[in-house]
Structure 1
Amino acid sequence: MKLNHLNLCVHDITEASDFFQKIFDFHLLERKGDAVAIVSDRESFTLVLSNTRAFGGESSTYPKDFHIGFYVDTAEEVDRFYDRLAAANIGPDHGPRKIRDGYSLYFNAIDGLLFEVTCLNR
């Protein structure tokens, strides 16, 4: 079984879509006004970004420890990602560091969501 897609509820479709394209190199597959944007990475994972308010729903909030994690192959890639965030004026509270079995960077972005970029020690 392979995970095909995930729906992430956000407050601003444009901001979220631009963020995933600029920061994580996703590409836009489809956009439906301010309601839905569908983006995909280079590994055939699809992320559906939806604005629940556009469908008459309430704003979404995620639990405190909810996060979105990405794995990269090397510690150098984590460092380069940190530099990419700095260039985009997205300032993590601290730089990458060794956490558990990996070298990780945590930061908050769109709607305060927590993101992780990690290289596992192999």
Structure 2
Amino acid sequence: MKLNHINLGVTDVLQAVDIFQRYFGLRPAGGGMPLDEKMAFLRDDDGALLSMFRVNDVQYPKVFHIGFLQDTPEQVRAVHRQLTDGGFHIPGPSENHGRLTFYFTAPFGVVIEVESFLG
């Protein structure tokens, strides 16, 4: 079974699209699916769909987040460096349960985790 899609409410759809494309390699879903200030649809390398809709007040449970798995710890550090070079203030990656990981709250209201398994 494969994950088909995740639907997110975000405060700024175009900002979310920019961050997901620039730092996480997602791309427009195509096929006539909208990509504008009200809603957007992106796909990952495996074809899973990330749909985003503009909402005024993003509210997720405290434990909610989305995660991006990297192949190596070096890739986790590289994504962290790209984000901090892009102006985000994010605590550095740390080792946790056999993984190198970091979390940050994106400005559009969603917590994102980037991780890789260690050795």
CA distance in 1, matches of 2:36, 2:108: 19
RMSD over aligned CA atoms reads 1.6
* Aligned residue runs from structure 1 range 75-114, under 5 A: 75-92=73-90, 94-114=91-111
CA distance in 2, matches of 1:25, 1:44: 12
In structure 1, the residue corresponding to 2:115 is in which secondary structure?
A: strand
CA distance in 2, matches of 1:49, 1:16: 8
Please point out which of 38, 42, 60 is paired with 2:58. Answer: 60
Match of 1:31 in 2: 34
- 1:40 to 2:37 alignment: no
- 1:49 to 2:52 alignment: yes
CA distance in 2, matches of 1:19, 1:65: 21
In structure 2, the residue corresponding to 1:104 is in which secondary structure?
A: strand
Deviations 1:61-109 (A, max 9, x none): 11112111111111100111111101211120x2111011211111111
Which protein is richer in helix relative to its size? 1
CA distance in 1, matches of 2:100, 2:35: 37
CA distance in 2, matches of 1:91, 1:62: 21
Match of 1:72 in 2: 70
Identity, % of aligned pairs? Answer: 33
Task: List 4+ stretches of structure 1 deviating above 4 A.
Answer: none
TM-score by length of structure 2 reads: 0.87
CA distance in 2, matches of 1:117, 1:34: 26
**Pairs aligned (count):** 116
Retained in 1: the 8 A contact 2:26–2:44?
yes
TM-score by length of structure 1 reads: 0.85
In structure 2, the residue corresponding to 1:119 is in which secondary structure?
A: strand
State the AA in 1 paired with 2:82. Answer: R
